[in-house]
Structure 1
Amino acid sequence: MIRTTRSQVTFSGPLMLPELDAPLPPGTYDVDTDEEVIEGNERTVYLRIATVIYVRGVGSTRTVTINPSVLAAALQRDAGHRG
């Protein structure tokens, strides 16, 4: 069984991730994290199997698989530029 968690991230400056061809403009982006549910005798464990960001363009949306720790670092850098 797989569970998907949707969240949103907001950047005040351009977003550049290694998985992207070019920087994305500032804005809010949807991010999905898929986790596989592994049920054990004493507890249930969730193993992350994919994190994707949705990149919306004119008339289309594409999904890009990203590294969640790199996304978290980009969010921290962006927050540092605001304050």
Structure 2
Amino acid sequence: MTIRSRRETVTFRHPFHIRGIARELPAGPYEVVTDEEMIDGLSFAVWRRVATMITVPSEAVRGATEVRSIGSVDLADAQRADVERR
């Protein structure tokens, strides 16, 4: 099984909530990593998302970060809500 990871920076203009994280997160840029696995047995390459993670400020240690697993739909919902607040 082949796995690949895609990294992107997502910027929120307003403080936001995302399902799976109990606290409000501050506005700013966030690194998002999406892991995908190749579906074998097809005549062309097809990838299926298996995990989405976001790097957020740590609650426990000032200046530290932590990686949290989130749903891709939850991320899209948070991005949409951020755009609608403008």
Q: TM-score, normalised by structure 2?
A: 0.85
Please report how far the alpha carbon of residue 81 of structure 1 lies from its aligned counterpart in structure 2 after TM superposition: 1.2
SS of residue matched to 2:51: strand
Distance in 1 between residues matched to 2:79 and 2:36, nearest whole Å = 22
Is 1:26 the counterpart of 2:30? The answer is no
Q: CA RMSD in A?
A: 1.3
Q: Deviation per CA, 1:9-38, whole angstroms, max 9, x where unpaired?
A: 111111201211200011110000000112
- The answer for unaligned runs of 5 or more in structure 1 is none
Structure 1 residues 46 and 73, CA gap change in structure 2 (3 angstroms): same
| Cross-structure match for 1:61 | 65
CA drift of 1:41 comes to 4.1
Instruction: Indicate the residue corresponding to 2:12 in structure 1.
Output: 11
CA distance in structure 2 between the partners assigned to 1:54 and 1:23 by the alignment: 14
Count of residue correspondences: 82
2:34 alignment partner AA = T
Question: How far did residue 3 of structure 1 move?
Answer: 0.3
> What are structure 2's unaligned runs of at least 5 residues?
none
